[in-house]
Amino acid sequence: MQLTGNWNYPTTVRFGAGRIAELADAMRDAGISNPLLVTDPNLAAMPMVKNAVAALSAAGVAAKVFSDVRPNPVEANIQAGIVAYKAGGHDGVVAFGGGSALDAGKLIAFLHAQTRPVWDFEDRADWWTRADAAAIAPVVAVPTTAGTGSEVGRAAVVTHAATQTKKIIFHPHMMPKAAICDPELTVGMPPYLTAGTGMDALSHCLEAYCVASYHPLAEGIALEGMRLVKENLARAVKKGNDVEARAHMMAAAAMGATAFQKGLGAMHALSHPIGALHDTHHGITNAVLMPYVLRFNRAAIEEKIERLANYLGLAATFDAFLDWVLMLREDIGVLPTLADLGLTDATAERIAQMAIEDPTASGNPVPFDLSGARRIFHDAMMGRL
């Protein structure tokens, strides 16, 4: 292990119940006076968005709403948002919603004045340097789920419709200027979505923790994020109005996204093509894959998982942690196999090939080649541990 690394930490976070009331202040601090509020169609019709727009209007800010965002955003969504951004003469974005809305909002702010296509900024090598950094508009992020942590991230995911691949677009200035993390906004999430987004937060913390690169700051954040998930996810799923559990899960989500600057691995490398081809929920897909990827990586991560298990109050063994993951999945209603998500072997080879080409594959602690991708996929299809 080389004791070198590039470490970055998130933007200003206004965290706590009721802090959505500070949206106008956060926008002014970010230099935004004429925002495009980017959300999804379901949220656009809900009181939380209407109330936010009304509160901004009362503060003298006339926000326009753009909501043409799919659950797995495609380039057409981003281009439509750019048209709306330019037509309204906007000077910044309020990204309001789950990971899809946050990513779409960040991409609209990033791309509205760039001259190159979005795919030229994929998270590979130094492709981000192709962008005109001065042309990136400011973003204030308002998450309404507790999973992706996109509100503190420097990247966004968008599906390339022609190739059916998910692409990670990266630029350091894509990070929002401010995030308002109000757990009361997540109270309306149904159990299935609470479970899926919460397992996404766990997958971010867990994969980042297992990556071999040297980043003790990120590892410490990942550890505490996993403790918060262990103590609060089932509570949030079973009692949706538990604001304390919701708050801890919202913190864990931001912690996962902060930690994964260290890298991700096979869980995400497989989840991205599965989601692109089968439109599965990203967090649920990660949850299904989690135990199979853990078992695949065991030789390289066993000692670290023993330390993690001890920190979480489990027996300090790899098997104890794996058993806890399996019990948590069952407790919150996560189905055990990819077959349960509707997958068949028909796309297995394509998914395996796409997985090893995904940028997250390189972070896996065990070399992740085609045979490894096939093995994990088939194990996850059959429930073979």
Q: What is the mean pLDDT of residues 314-329?
A: 98
**Domain locations in the chain as residue ranges:** 12-185, 189-382
Q: How far apart are CA 377 and CA 370, in angstroms?
A: 11
Q: What is the pLDDT of residues 347-358, one digit of tens each?
A: 999 999 999 999
Q: How confident is the model at residue 1 (pLDDT cuts 50, 70, 90)?
A: low
Can you give the pLDDT at residue 6? Answer: 73
Can you give the pLDDT at residue 281? Answer: 94
Can you give the pLDDT at residue 70? Answer: 92
Can you give the pLDDT at residue 40? Answer: 96
Q: What is the mean pLDDT of residues 291-315?
A: 98
Can you give the pLDDT at residue 11? Answer: 82
Domains 12-185 and 189-382 share a fold: no
Q: What is the pLDDT of residues 236-281, one digit of tens each?
A: 999 999 999 999 999 999 999 999 999 999 999 999 999 999 999 9
The fold of 189-382 is Dehydroquinate synthase-like, alpha domain (1.20.1090)
383: pLDDT strictly greater than 70:
yes
Q: What is the mean pLDDT of residues 133-140?
A: 98
pTM value? Answer: 0.94
Q: How confident is the model at residue 8 (pLDDT cuts 50, 70, 90)?
A: confident
Q: What is the pLDDT of residues 152-205, one digit of tens each?
A: 999 999 999 899 999 999 999 999 999 999 999 999 899 999 999 999 999 999
Q: What is the pLDDT of residues 86-131, one digit of tens each?
A: 999 999 999 999 999 999 999 999 999 999 999 999 999 999 999 9
Mean pLDDT (the chain, rounded): 96
Q: What is the mean pLDDT of residues 72-77?
A: 94
CB 308 within 8 A of CB 321: yes
Can you give the pLDDT at residue 7? Answer: 74
CATH 2.30.30.60 assigned to 12-185: no
Q: What is the mean pLDDT of residues 325-336?
A: 97
